[in-house]
Amino acid sequence: GLSRVATRFGFARFGDAVVEAVERLVPAAPLTGQSTVVVPAAGDEPVMRVFLLKSSDAHALVETPGPWKLAYGLDALSASGVRLETSDAIHRVPWSSGWRRRVTRSLERRGVAFLQTVLARRRIARSDAVIAMFESQGNALALLRSLRVWRRGRPRMAMIVCWLAGDVDRFGRVRLALIRRAYRKVDRVFVFSSNQAEILERSIGFPATGSTFVPFGIDHHYFSPDESVPAGEYVLAVGR
C-alpha cells in the first residue's frame, strides 16, 4: 500500500524535512495578533478544542450584521462548550504578498491547499478535533495523515464537503486513488445534499454511515425582508 511505499522511500522523513524548510520561511509567531481568531466556549472550561481549517478571511466578517462572525455560523459551536480556533495567517503578510504568495498559490493550484495546515500545525496537534471547510482545505491534512507523514498529534477530523461528489467522476486514476486513501483518515463528513453520501460511498469508499446531511439554512439575523419592496406576487430566481 501507499503507507508501505512511504516508509520504504522515506516519505515521512521527507515530509518532516519539507515542514522544517517551510518553518524557516515562517515568522517566529505566524499565528498571533490579527492572524488568530478564537471563539471562547460558553462556560468555565471547554468540553472540546476544535481547530477550523478554512479559506475565508474571518476578520473581514467582523462587521457582518448578526451574532455569527464565521462562515455558516460555525461560531455557534461555542454555545455547546466548544473552544473554536482558526487562523487568518494566509491572508496576512508575509503570505499575502510578494514571492511567498506567488509561490504558494502556484503550488496549491497544481496540487492541494497546504499552507494553512502547515502554518497551523502546532495548534492542530493540540486540538481535540479539526473541522475542514471545505474539502479543498482539508485534503492536504487528510492525505498527510493517511501516508503517516503527519506526526503532530491525531485529533479527530471532520470535513464539510461541498464539491467532491460532483467532481469525483472526472478524477484521473492517480488522483482518485489519493482521495480514496486520504478519506480513510476522515472521521466524519458533512454534506449539503443527502444524495452525496451515496455518491461518496460508491466513488471513494467513504461509508454512508460516516456522512451527516445538514441542509442549507438562512441566517435570519443577516437576511430580512426589504420593507421598501411593494407587496405582491413575485418569482424569485437564485443562482448563477
* pTM (global) more than 0.85: no
- In order along its 240 residues, the chain shows pLDDT tens digits of 444 444 444 444 544 555 555 555 544 334 333 466 777 777 777 789 999 999 888 776 666 666 667 777 788 888 888 988 888 888 888 888 899 899 999 999 988 899 999 888 888 999 999 999 999 999 999 999 998 877 777 899 999 999 999 999 999 999 999 999 999 999 999 999 999 999 999 999 999 999 999 987 777 777 777 788 888 888 878 776
Helix (H, G, I), strand (E, B) or coil at 100: helix
25 residue type, one letter: L
Name which of 123, 155, 128 is nearest 45 in CA terms: 128
pLDDT at 62: 61
Number of residues that make up the chain: 240
Predicted confidence at residue 30, as pLDDT, reads 40
Sheet holding 36-39, edge to edge: 36-39, 82-87, 48-54, 129-133, 156-161, 188-191, 211-213
pLDDT at position 69 is 72
Q: What secondary structure does DSSP assign to 12-30, as a single string?
A: HHHHHHHHHHHHHHS-S-T
Query: Furthest-apart CA pair in the chain: how many Å?
Result: 70
Distance CA 75, CA 85 (A): 9
Q: Which three cell numbers stand for residue 133?
A: 471547510
Q: What is the pLDDT of residue 17?
A: 55
Q: What is the pLDDT of residue 210?
A: 95
Neighbours of 79 (CB within 10 A): 11
Cα of 139 vs its chain's centroid, Å: 8
What distance lies between CA 129 and its chain's CA centroid? Answer: 12
Q: Report whether the peptide linkage leading into residue 9 is cis, meaning its omega lies within 30 degrees of zero.
A: no
All cell numbers assigned to 107 = 503550488
The single-letter DSSP state of residue 106 is H
